[in-house]
Each structure stands twice: as C-alpha cells, then as structure tokens.
Chains A and B, each alone.
Chain A
Amino acid sequence: MDFKIRRAGHVVLRVTDVARAKAFLEDVIGFATYAQAGEHFFFLSAQPVSNHHMIAVRPGKEGERLPDAENQIGMVSISYEVTDFDELARIYQRIKAFGGDYGARILAAEDRGHINTVLCEDADGNRIEFYCYLPEDEVGDAAPYVLRGSAEDKLEAAAS
C-alpha cells in the first residue's frame, strides 16, 4: 500500500502568554477551545466535526528565543482558508479593529492570482495567514499565487 497526505491538520504554538494567545484566537479569529491537556495546553478548532484541533497553544519556557519570521530558517507562517472574500474581509476588519488589544496586527493584504490573503502577526511574532479563493471571473488569466497587488483597498471597501 502507498499513502497520500490528505490534508494539513494542525499547528502547535509555544507562546509567552497562553491566556492572551488563546483569547486572540477565540475572540478575534473565531476558534473555540474543545480540549486541554494539563492546565495550560489548549486545543482549538473552528470546524470541530471534521478536525478536532486546527491550532493548539502551550507555554514556552522563559529565556527561549522568540520567532524571527523575517530571517529564521524553518516555520514562517501557518495559513488558514476561509470561505470567501466577504469572510476574509470580516477577519481583516476584526484583526484591524481588535487585534491590538491582544498584541496582534495586520502585516499585509495581497491579491495573489486565484487567492487573496491577509497576513497577521500575534504578540510573539507568530505569523498567521488567512486566504480565500476568488470566483473564476475575478481570476481571469492571472497566474496562481503570483502577486497582482495589494488587496487592502478591496478589503476596506468590503468591510465598510
């Protein structure tokens, strides 16, 4: 028998402040906590029927190095798909309006051919991206993933 990777499941974050990281993911991004291991290790999902956890947060240890997403070798960001552009605009708006309360901010919003993306950074510098696929008539002959420009104006217009 051979095998096939059928999907991405989850990522685990080691954070400096578990309560803040968990609250950001719940309050702003819409994840909910469905399980925990010990006192400080939480498992969150937005689709609990199909995936028991899409992200988990646990404390790191004081003195460990923080993410350096611009330079480090290794894990740069984790991406989540949302249903459509309107949903992406809502996520964008929520992070923009409330992310600061949790130390999070928007880094970029891009039109990349068949997808539009919103990249944010949490209080520790972890990068989380959200994206949606565009309807075919909006993609045209654009090459998948290749940068077409900023998506910021479109996201602002949709959110207002």
Chain B
Amino acid sequence: MAKLGDMKVQVRRTSHLTLRCKDLGASRGFYEGILNLFSIGEDERGRVYLAGDPDTRIPVLALEQAEGEDNPTPTPKKMYGLEHFAMEVGSLDQLKAVYRRFRDTGTAIDHTQDHGITNSLYFIDPDGNLIEVYHDVPRAEYPEPEYPFASYGSIDEKLEKID
C-alpha cells in the first residue's frame, strides 16, 4: 500500500478558470474586447479556451454556455467556493493600460488595491464573477517583507497617473 509521503508531486503552473456563462457570446466578447484575450481552441461541447497570446497553448480562461434556467448565480464573497480569480500583466504601466481600457469603454471597476505584493484591479464580469488583474511588485520593494500579503488601500490615483 502506497503511503502519502511517497510519489511526491509538484504542480507546474496555474492554468485556466472555467466559467459557465449565461450568454457565452457576450462573455467571450467581453473578455476578448476588454482584456485582450484570444481564442486558442474549442472542444466538442463548445467550450472556448482563451489566452493572452494567440500563439500560446496555455489558456487562462475557458468559457462554456449554461443550459437550462434558474441556475444559481454568483454572489462574490457571500458564498462558499471559488471566490475570485486573478490574471497577471507584466508591469505597472500595463495595469494602467487595463485601468484606462475600463475607463475608456465605460466598464465598471469594482475596486483597486495595493496588496503589498501586487497592485490589483478588481471587476465584476458579465456573469457576476469577481475577477482580479494584477502586476507583481518586485520582492525587493515589498513594504513589509515579513508580512507581505496585506491591503494598503486604493490605487486609483496611481493608476490614473500617466507618465
């Protein structure tokens, strides 16, 4: 009988979140149009796989169409389960570009947050899911290296500033 300590395993990377959508076309349009995602594949159920680069094979989201009626809908932070999902951009300037995209298209931002380890922008997607876009703060710049995960308030002003 195998023991728990045998056969060590190590996950390589976070891949995609699968979202069931009220209107797959609308959700896909939102993620392609607002977050610059591209379709990289589709399975036999019509589930569409999206990535930040059309040439990668590593998806960040998979979208599928809901069937039936009266399906429970998300109430972020007021239900058990998957609470929020986070996707990364490469720099503060890119996060500012995300911020501008939301502003320019009249898309609501839920809130922004300096987390110490990340600068983060949160939004509610067309199906009511809480989604985060962030960029990593270099470790040398962590405000409190002993307690790196924290909340230091809104970064709206920082994101509005164009250098």
Contacts and interface: CB of A to CB of B under 8 A. Distances in A.
Contact of B83 (A1, A14, A91, A114): A14
A19 interface: no
A11 B84 contact: yes
B9 A6 contact: no
A43 B116 CA distance: 14
B58 A64 contact: no
Given A7-B60, A65-B79, A76 B88 contact: no
A110 to B, nearest CB: 10
B140 interface: no
A35 B101 CA distance: 32
A114 B147 CA distance: 41
Interface residues of A, number: 74
A52 B13 CA distance: 11
Interface in A112-135: 112, 114, 124-126, 129-131, 133
Given A7-B60, A8-B16, A93-B2, A73 B9 contact: no
Contacts of B11: 29-31, 46-47, 54, 80-82, 130
B74 interface: yes
Interface in A63-89: 64-68, 71-83, 87
Contacts of B82: 11-13, 67, 74-75, 78, 126
Interface in B32-69: 35-37, 40-44, 47, 49, 51-53, 57-58, 60-62, 64, 66, 68
Contact of A11 (B72, B85, B101): B85
A82 B71 contact: no
B14 to A, nearest CB: 5
How many interface residues does chain B have, given as a range? 35 or more
Contacts of A131: 15
Given A5-B133, A114-B57, A146-B44, A51 B13 contact: yes
Nearest to B101: A3
A4 B53 CA distance: 7
A73 B72 contact: yes
Contact of B81 (A8, A10, A13): A13
Interface of B: 2, 4, 7-22, 35-37, 40-44, 47, 49, 51-53, 57-58, 60-62, 64, 66, 68, 71-75, 77-90, 93-98, 101, 117, 127-129, 132-134, 136, 147-150
15 contacts: A4-B89, A8-B60, A8-B61, A11-B14, A46-B12, A67-B81, A72-B74, A74-B128, A75-B19, A75-B81, A78-B17, A87-B10, A90-B7, A94-B7, A114-B57
Given A80-B13, A87-B10, 17 more contacts: A1-B93, A5-B89, A5-B133, A8-B14, A30-B11, A35-B148, A35-B149, A37-B150, A60-B81, A65-B79, A71-B71, A74-B129, A75-B129, A76-B20, A80-B12, A91-B9, A114-B57
